[in-house]
Amino acid sequence: MGFLRPSAGRATIAGLDCWSQAPAVKRLVGYLPSEFAFDPGLTGAQILTYLGHLRGGVDRSYVQQLCERLDFDPGKRFREYSRGNRQKLGLIQAFMHRPRLLILDEPSSGLDPLNQQEFYRMLREVQSEGHTVFLSSHILPEVEQTCSRVGIIRDGRLVEVNEVSRLKHMRQQTVVISFPGPASPEWFQGLPGVAAVRLNRDGRELHLDVQGELQAVIKAAAAHDALSLSTQEPSLEEIFLRFYQVDQPVAAGR
């Protein structure tokens, strides 16, 4: 956004340099900062009008439509708005010029569940129109629901960028196998892809963390007369937490 001067390298959006061509970049972008602050004496309507003028004019009927969708009252002063209403105002100003790229920092924080759902619908609409949404969030189910690609940052470095579906597929899954009698973890240790084996309390069920194909695990389970076998796909939250485990080395970003 041309806020920070790069210490090295350069960033581009749509082929435009984010520092030297900042105004042109900002014309394409709708931006919501993590803390939306503004002159406390202005009303929501005045803020939207002012920002609309600074953008060279926006469609007022579309602004009103956005206010309706998020149930936002633009007649109050900024200082009177609750956190949720300030967030709605921030979202409306980010969407109001129909940008090609939306950069949203923690966009749904402070929104009530109904408005969150409406916001997700708005995201899906702009995505279906071919626009890009770039959001940062700590609410991982939200990311899982709204994003197609995800980047994970650890210690200030991008450690993973991938499709959400591929990330889940590539990463470990948990396999639960039940046996008619006492089971032993040794049956599965050393098999290809098996990272860890845990025995549950009654001694008849094993929990395996497996990466990749399950053929060897299924064969070994059958050899020991397994009663049932189920797999659990990891949530994005579990994948994320694995990246943040202290002993997990930081992989190079892709």
Question: Which residues here bind other proteins, judged by CB under 8 A?
Answer: 1-5, 22-24, 26-27, 29, 31, 33, 35-39, 41, 43-46, 48-51, 53-56, 60, 63-64, 67-68, 71-75, 79, 90, 93
Q: Measure the CA–CA gap between 210 and 173, rounded to whole angstroms.
A: 5
Contacts by 80-85, CB closer than 8 A, 24 or more apart: 81/44, 82/110, 83/109, 83/110, 84/110, 84/111, 84/112, 84/115, 85/44
Contact between 179 and 225 (Cβ < 8 Å): yes
Least distance (Å) between residue 23 CB and other proteins:
5
Give min distance, CB of 80 to other proteins, in A: 9
Shortest distance, CB of residue 40 to other proteins, whole angstroms? 9
Angle at CA 171, nearest 5°, toward 169 and 175? 85
Is the Cβ of residue 105 or residue 238 nearer to other proteins in the bound state?
Answer: 105
Minimum CB–partner distance for residue 74 and other proteins (Å): 5
Question: Cβ closer to other proteins: 27 or 207?
Answer: 27
54 or 161: CB nearest other proteins: 54
Distance CA 157, CA 78 (A): 36
Q: Exposed, middle or buried, 165 (CB in 10 Å: 0-12/13-18/19+)?
A: exposed
Strand order in the sheet with 29-32: 29-32, 101-105, 132-136
Smallest gap from Cβ 143 to other proteins, in A, equals 23
Minimum Å gap between C-beta 57 and other proteins is 10
Tokens describing residue 217:
């695990």
Nearer to other proteins, 64 or 127 (CB): 64
φ and ψ at residue 2, rounded to 5 degrees: 75, 20
Nearer to other proteins, 78 or 240 (CB): 78
Nearer to other proteins, 41 or 190 (CB): 41
Alpha-helical segments (H) within 29-131: 44-54, 60-69, 83-95, 113-128
